[in-house]
Structure 1
Amino acid sequence: MVSFKNLAIVTLAVTTTSVEGISFSNIYLNKAITIFKNPTSLIPSFSNSKSINYQDTKPIPGDSPIEVCDASEKQLLHLDEVIVTPNPPVAGQNLTFTAVGTLDKTIEEGAYVEVEVRYGFIKLIHQTYDLCEEIVKVDLQCPIKSGKQTITKNVEIPEEVPPGKYLVVARAYTKDDEYITCLTATIIFPVQ
């Protein structure tokens, strides 16, 4: 995973901005480093939250690790293409992310996103974020206008990302609980 919040929010950012931006920060990385420094914190947790239906995912054109989840459900965001370079992402290297998509409805203050990050079967993070607060971190703001949009962002991936398989799921909703999108990505960082 691209440092926990980095990949979570690669996924999240596409949701958050109708492809207007990627909100990358170090919250997930710091939490991951804490977890890996304190092995007793690696106790698995289970959640009542909605799980991914792996039969209901749809790849997004562009050969990226990101897929639409809950694909049979009506969603406001429609991604035409997502390109991630390098693919797969590499710890210690910059990542370039380009996304093209269409948002059916303007997203206003009060929208939120539920993010879950797993390391293998171990849940590292399950948290809800204010969508509009997250996109401010990448020089964007609400309202996020409806229509077709393209974004390109460069992100530094820290070398400290622990090797392993990471699963990230982001489900975004409007302030009225309309489904903006569900995006998921599986990234494997090899032992270096």
Structure 2
Amino acid sequence: MKINRINLISIFSILIFVSFATSTPTPLKRQDQLNGFTQCKGSFANSITVLSYTPNPIVTGQNITVHLAGTATEIIKQGTTIVYTVYFKDEPTKEAFQHKQDFCEVFVKQSGSECPVKKGDYSFTASWLVEKHPDEPKNLVVEYNFNISVFDSDGKVLSCINGSTKFSYS
């Protein structure tokens, strides 16, 4: 009888433990690979699936480091550009500024590769100085809407994402 009682207590203890372990919710934290950005409407040959940048918020007068990754179904050739079109958050149709870079020079070469970039997965990291402008606000953090588009040398949009980010002006 003692053996049965010990077995019964063991089984009961295991059941309580299993019930407790399976009833406790485990929060799943899913990392947003695009940091709040989303693919633009439409169909594009190349996708951007990862966008990260530091510092966040972006600080004028300091370097920014940007990591882009995705999949290219079209070769990225010399002459490809990346264009950041920035809009005021409270006036989404009013352009604040635009910045254009040579994609191969800034992203591909800084990552140790050369253009053309073959079809397939890509991952590039680049850093550059975010210049201060005399007319920028002082001691303020401003949120902007961004459109980031990658164009081939003929002006065809290869990739496009939209989102918002903050700038810190000192």
| Aligned match for 1:143, one of 94, 105, 116 | 116
The residue identity in structure 2 corresponding to 1:164 is V
1:34 alignment partner in structure 2: none
CA displacement at 1:76 relative to structure 2: 1.8
Cα pair 1:78 1:102 within 8 Å, conserved: yes
* Gaps in structure 2 of 5+ consecutive residues: 1-30
Give how far 1:184 is off: 2.1
- Say which is worse superposed, 124-133 or 138-147, in terms of deviation: 124-133
Superposed CA deviations along residues 32-83 of structure 1, whole A, max 9, x for unmatched, are xxxxxxxxxxxxxxxxxxxxxxxxxxxx94261332212xx22122233334
Task: Give 1:89's aligned residue.
Answer: 57
Provide the alpha-carbon RMSD of the alignment. 3.8
Q: 1:125 maps to which residue?
A: 97
User: Residue 161 of structure 2 aligns with which residue?
Assistant: 183
CA distance in structure 2 between the aligned counterparts of 1:126 and 1:98, rounded to whole angstroms = 19
Structure 1 segments, 4+ long, off by >6 Å, are 155-161
Count the aligned residue pairs: 130
Go from structure 1 to structure 2 and tell me whether the alpha carbon gap of 1:99 and 1:177 turns closer, same or farther (over 3 Å shift): closer
Secondary structure of the 2:78 match is: coil
Name which structure has the greater RCO, CA cutoff 8 Å, separation 6+.
Answer: 1
Once the two structures are superposed, the pairs formed by residues 46-85 of structure 1 within 5 Å of their partners are 61-62=32-33, 64-70=35-41, 73-84=42-53
1:102 CA drift (Å): 1.1
What amino acid maps onto 2:122 in structure 1?
Q
For the residue of structure 1 that corresponds to 2:164, the secondary structure is: strand
- Residues 91 and 189, structure 1, Cα contact 8 Å, conserved in 2: yes
CA offset at residue 89 of structure 1?
Answer: 2.5
Question: Aligned equivalents of 2:158 and 2:148: distance in 1?
Answer: 10
The Cα offsets for residues 74-119 of structure 1, whole Å up to 9 and x where unpaired, read as 2122233334456x42537876544431111212233344432223
- TM-score with structure 1 setting the length: 0.48
More strand by share: 2
Q: In 2, Cα distance between the equivalents of 1:95 and 1:116?
A: 17
Matched to 1:147, the amino acid is G
Gaps of 5+ in 1: 1-59
Task: State how far apart, in whole Å, the 2-side matches of 1:143 and 1:191 are.
Answer: 37
One-letter amino acid matched to 1:146? K
1:150 maps to amino acid? S
Question: Identity, % of aligned pairs?
Answer: 21
Asked if 1:170 is matched to 2:124, the reply is: no
Mapped partners of 1:134, 1:80: distance in 2: 19
Q: Deviations over 1:128-173 (max 9, x none)?
A: 5554454477365421222112234566767987421212212222
Residue 188 of structure 1: CA displacement? 3.0
Q: Which has the larger radius of gyration?
A: 2
